[in-house]
Structure 1
């Protein structure tokens, strides 16, 4: 398998960065994960926009364009013989002295990883459980998709190796926040609900796509502060992320849910299938 490192395609065993990279020393780095469908990087524009905004916050002097990223992806995918893939675009701050740096980072390290994925197909159902571990607050004003991932890793250890379970974080105030690697939605009546960004969650790209799709389907979309009881009373629950797409929930804290037989998730899944091979933007 090959990866992209600062403009070069190298074998993964030969890839290396300096131990003085502040992405390693202090977690000063960002990443985006997304899928490529038959050669098309779905919603790439929005992933780049979020990445560029985060780089400004971290004082890393690098901005990406669609053309630059897409060209790099094409070379990497060709090297690995892939048309359907999981992509991680990673930007770390680059080399600095040991100690906290105030000056801008001007030579970041850019790495792109690709893993093979099968063609998109049926929805995979999961059970949702409330985590004992609370969601940590963002390091800054808003949550970035950054190298600061210990909260997520500890939460994954809490639920174990099961691939059919998603852990759901609560805030310190016991409001529903988000999944370990997902955003959460639920439907009741003609309204679809999802936690507000005020809870400190990541504004997922698939979250944004889903909110627009819900409105396109003629349903109301409401963000807010919600309790476990609010979610348990739902007619349908699902979680979203850019790799697993729309994931129906079959059980929430012991409450049975319709899973992939739910009318809303079926419509959203169909909308996703019709969009994933062509859309650059939401």
Structure 2
């Protein structure tokens, strides 16, 4: 593989859209207030911001997607996916790299991240080490056996995805401030919930491929579909956006402008999910794009008004 092809493959693997509207959004929601309302040195803030963005890109964009693409290829769910916004990066399906090579890269990456975390811990950078370990936990446990939490309802998003998105959002104030303020917890929680909600929509086009995988990938979407009927495929997203609206009420009690904006965005998101045409994957993917944009708007809005 020549250098241009290598870079194209890596860029496809990273799935920048997913990283931008989840991890990057969470970072912006809690870093922006420190630029606008605090007197920390700009150089220090920028260094932390760049470190967090790079960490999110490498662990979420690179390692997590490597492991997820490998596991979903082995279970064949990505082979059967409609593959619009969902279905992995498809670099295996398009013969850009073999599953075996991807696994080797993933194992090497795990060793590098774990080694870096250990070195940083014993060098006194304990918080950064902890953040790396949380990201590593999320990447491995979501996709890889024996846990493979993403193949089970609820536990995948709560025990793998949520900790990673919440802590990458909370990381900036946690690293820089002696005592992170309430808005840091609120903003990190809100964007983590927004992310979980749009990821549930992301799973909808894959619901039939997931349940026919080997082993079956019983996401929360698949579980509710099988239990109550296909119309309930949208229920997980509705639930998480409802939690976003409750979080908005908490924010409103402390920051009325931020909370009101977050509530409006939550209700608009609920309306969009209710309008999903489950019979047409293209419609679901188009509306998912709207939810991605609303997630970023929520991050900017709550970051601007503290």
TM-score (norm 1): 0.28
Structure in which a larger fraction of residues adopt strand: 1
TM-score (norm: length of structure 2):
0.26
Decide which structure has greater helix share. 2
